[in-house]
Amino acid sequence: MTNIILEARDITYSYPYGPPAINGISFHIRKGEKIALVGPNGAGKSTLLLMFNGMIKPDSGMLLYDNRPMQYDRSSLREMRRKIGFVFQNPDNQIIAPTVFQDVAFGPVNLGMEPDDIRTVVSESLISVGLEGFERRPPHQLSGGEKKRVAMAGILAMNPEILVFDEPTSALDPQGSEDMMELLEEIHNQGKTIIISTHDVELAYPWADRVILLENGYILNEDIPERAFANKDLIRKAHLSIPIFLELYLELVKRGMKECERPPRSVLDMIQVIESDRHGQMQMPCTLCGAIYITDCDTLKPRALQRFVTAHHITAIGAMGSRAKTRLKEELLYPDYTYAVIDRCILQAMNGKDALLLTTGGMLIRAQERIDEFNQENARHIKIITVIESE
Amino acid sequence: MFYELLENIAQNNGMRDVSPYTKLLLGLGCILIVITSPGYIVPLFLAVILSCCILICARIPYRLYLSLLCIPLGFAITSVIVIILITGGDYAIFQYQLTDWLILSITPESLNQGILVFSRILGGMCALFFISLTTPMTDLFSVMKRFYIPDILIDLAMLIYRFIFIFMEKAHLIYNAQVMRLGYGSYTEALHSFGHLAGAIFIASWNTGEDLIKAMDCRCYCGRFAMLSKESPIRTGSLILVLIFLMLSIVLEIITADYTLIHEIL
């Protein structure tokens, strides 16, 4: 295949004087994929991740980036680390400089960029993680989630092709974890390949394209999440648990519910599955479907949102992307949904209520496509109203 | 936590956007005037003006400022008392025979000397607090760069600045863990616990050092440390105001050089 970006061929590694940490692993990752490396503590997740950008050299076997074996001389390593950005689990280990600006600028400075370019790159990456205006703050004054974002911005500023996150949601509160997953989704939409390690199956299950189950330095399973997480034996072996939606679905199937092509990954999926099984008994009449207003927050006039929300009887606001969230904050509105926003807006519309979806740029089209797709699949008529310039 | 306090205040004070050069010129200029001043009036005058700047312009809460001032003033008062009691003079206003060989006496000269030293300490401390409460460390780095201080020193200073807070936090956590399990109960126990604390901090700093190298490698480190952010621009108006103020203080210093408190009373 041509679009394989990262490949491992039978790699092994053991720490000095320790038992083997990686026991002959082979896999490949395609460009633009979202991979979750799932396993218990001490399974070798972090070790494996550190191999991706050459921080650890495998004892045997080889790693290929873009179908070329990795070289471990100085200049190849630099190139490798620019293309494969690594975000540490503990942001305190990664943030080096005394201010946010200086820390994000660290990578670009070392890549030898021009001062003016550095300024633009830094402000762009800070905007994309939702931390504009934090330039002069020292890192020790930031909260855990903000520190994680600074660490991410520092890597994004180097414009890597693959982003590797070691436990991106560890030590974050549930809201923080959801924001983080949403941010990963946003970065993925910019065409990056993303690899995360985690043991939070609930977050990995709806997010990942493919899951690699790791235990004791071996790959237990490598599959799409629906299948990888459904194998009870392997899940038990890997000290994990079955995601709640999948378990519920499997139990319902056991009790005679019709099996469907794709097991549900979200609340919306679950409701679709149940409805299709009950032959539409739970469906509301289509005329009662609410509308979803989609707006691009960059084209909106200032202070237009408040009026819009009251004028159109909006019952729920979803913010997709960091810029939308910042915009809402400026307008003194609070988003009801910040994660899985499209799904939740659809759910709201299914109940006959109107929702406002605030987003930017390319995600606008993605949201429309998703809703169209849903309408076709389920023979629904959720109206999409694109608000370009608020009246 | 106290170790973060001063820096937090400096980061959020009302004069954050004044150029660090202007603030440093005012602070350092005042310190120079204070330590060269032969009379007590100018240092006290500067102490009052700088305190007003700190309290009104920089909007530092007065309670906090007073409690900060109390720390050095405690030392200052005790040493000034000693100076007053042991400095000689023409005649004694007060005398006390402490032991056979030590007579404590207060003379006009010793009183004048004491007052001068005290006013200098007060003025100097106010100037230092003015700098430290209005200019955060992060601004000083760019000033250092402008004055051709070698990059390696600035890089080191920046790393130290960054890691001071991490280590203080770690030390605080370990200390709390020890206290919770009744460390520091008796004198020997305290020594023992402190030893453990120092050991744990040493190991932690070693590990952090290794993590730091890893993190820097991951981000393509090749000897160049972070670029300095832009500092607030120097406004000519405020700069000229500061220069005029310093000039006036020097003139005042010359006029009031011979004023002493005690001679006027007698």
- Under DSSP, the state recorded for A337 is B
Domain ranges of chain B: 2-135+235-265, 142-218
The mean pLDDT of A330-351, rounded to a whole number, is 82
The mean pLDDT of A298-308, rounded to a whole number, is 77
Chain A residues in contact with B4 (beta carbon < 8 A): 140-141
| pLDDT band, residue A11 (cuts 50/70/90) | very high
> Which domains, ranges and CATH numbers included, belong to chain A?
4-240 (3.40.50.300), 245-277 (no CATH), 286-387 (3.40.1010.10)
Say if residue A34's pLDDT is above 90. Answer: yes
Instruction: State which amino acid sits at residue B219.
Output: R
Number of CB pairs, chain A paired with chain B, less than 8 A apart: 97
The mean pLDDT of A141-149, rounded to a whole number, is 89
DSSP codes of every residue in A302-330: TT-HHHHHHHTT--EEEE-SHHHHHHHHH
| A357, A292 contact by CB (below 8 A) | yes
Q: Which of A193-202, A255-264, B137-146 is predicted most confidently?
A: A193-202
| B143, B24 contact by CB (below 8 A) | yes
- What pLDDT is stored for residue B33 in this prediction? 93
Q: How many CB atoms lie within 10 A of CB A254?
A: 8
Q: How many CB atoms lie within 10 A of CB A15?
A: 11
DSSP β-bridge partners for residue A64: A7, A69
- What pLDDT is stored for residue B2 in this prediction? 58
| A356, A309 contact by CB (below 8 A) | yes
- What pLDDT is stored for residue B263 in this prediction? 64
Q: How many CB atoms lie within 10 A of CB B72?
A: 16
Q: How far apart are CA B239 and CA B22, in angstroms?
A: 6
- Under DSSP, the state recorded for B107 is -
Helix, strand, coil percentages for chain B (3-state, nearest 5): 75, 5, 25
List residues of A whose CB lies inside 8 A of any B CB: 53, 55, 78, 81-82, 86, 88, 92-99, 101-103, 105-107, 109-112, 115, 118, 135-141, 154-155, 158
Picking from B166, B169, B229, the nearest residue to A99 by CB comes out as: B229
Report the sign of the C-alpha dihedral through residues A110, A115, A116, A119, in that order. Answer: positive
- On average, the pLDDT of chain A sits at 85
- The DSSP bridge pattern shows strands A162-166 and A84-87 to be parallel
- What pLDDT is stored for residue A299 in this prediction? 78
Q: How close are the terminal C-alpha atoms of chain B, in Å?
A: 50
Say if residue A36's pLDDT is above 90. Answer: yes
**Residue A102 to residue B212, Cβ atoms within 8 A:** no
CA angle A55, A56, A59 (to 5 degrees): 155
- Of the listed ranges A81-90, A291-300, A382-391, the one predicted with least confidence: A382-391
- The DSSP bridge pattern shows strands A20-30 and A4-14 to be antiparallel
Say if residue A14's pLDDT is above 70. Answer: yes
Instruction: State which amino acid sits at residue A136.
Output: R
**More confident of the two residues A346 and B4:** A346
Tens of pLDDT, residues A226-257: 888 888 888 888 888 899 888 888 888 888 88
Q: Which residues are within 8 A (CB) of A359 and not within 5 positions of it... i.e. 6 or more apart?
A: A294, A295, A296, A297, A319, A320, A321, A324, A341, A367
The mean pLDDT of A1-30, rounded to a whole number, is 87
The mean pLDDT of A353-360, rounded to a whole number, is 84
Q: What is the largest CA-CA distance in chain A?
A: 70
Residue of chain B whose alpha carbon sits nearest to that of A91: B215
Q: How far apart are CA B19 and CA B17, in angstroms?
A: 6
**SS3 label, residue A359:** strand
| pLDDT band, residue A355 (cuts 50/70/90) | confident
- What pLDDT is stored for residue A284 in this prediction? 57
**Residue B229 to residue A94, Cβ atoms within 8 A:** no
ipTM comes to 0.73
Q: pTM, whole model, 2 decimals?
A: 0.79
Q: How far apart are CA B231 and CA B210, in angstroms?
A: 32
Instruction: State which amino acid sits at residue A340.
Output: A
B210 touches chain A (CB under 8 A): no
Take residue A85 and report the two structure tokens written for it.
């950005």
**How close, in Å, is residue A69 to chain B by CA atoms?**
19
Torsion angle (degrees, nearest 10) of CA A77, A81, A84, A85: 160
**Residue A155 to residue B219, Cβ atoms within 8 A:** yes
Q: Tens-digit pLDDT profile for chain B (266 aa)? A: 555 677 788 888 888 888 889 999 999 999 999 999 888 889 999 999 999 999 998 888 888 889 889 988 999 999 999 988 887 777 777 777 778 887 788 888 888 889 899 999 999 999 999 998 998 888 888 888 888 888 888 888 888 888 888 888 888 888 998 888 888 888 888 898 899 999 999 998 888 888 888 888 888 888 777 666 667 788 888 889 999 999 999 998 888 877 777 665 55
Q: How far apart are CA A276 and CA A270, in angstroms?
A: 10
**SS3 label, residue A90:** coil
**More confident of the two residues A46 and A361:** A46
Chain B residues in contact with A81 (beta carbon < 8 A): 217-220
Strand order in the sheet with A4-14: A20-30, A4-14, A60-65, A68-69
- What pLDDT is stored for residue A327 in this prediction? 80
Chain B residues in contact with A99 (beta carbon < 8 A): 138, 229
Q: Which residues are within 8 A (CB) of B138 and not within 5 positions of it... i.e. 6 or more apart?
A: A98, A99, A136, A138, B11, B161, B229
Residue of chain A whose alpha carbon sits nearest to that of B208: A93
| A268, A292 contact by CB (below 8 A) | no
Choose among A178, A205, A174, A204: nearest CA to A339: A178
Best residue in B17, B218, B221, B224 for a mutation probing chain A (most A CBs within 10 Å)? B218
The mean pLDDT of A371-376, rounded to a whole number, is 84
- What pLDDT is stored for residue A391 in this prediction? 46
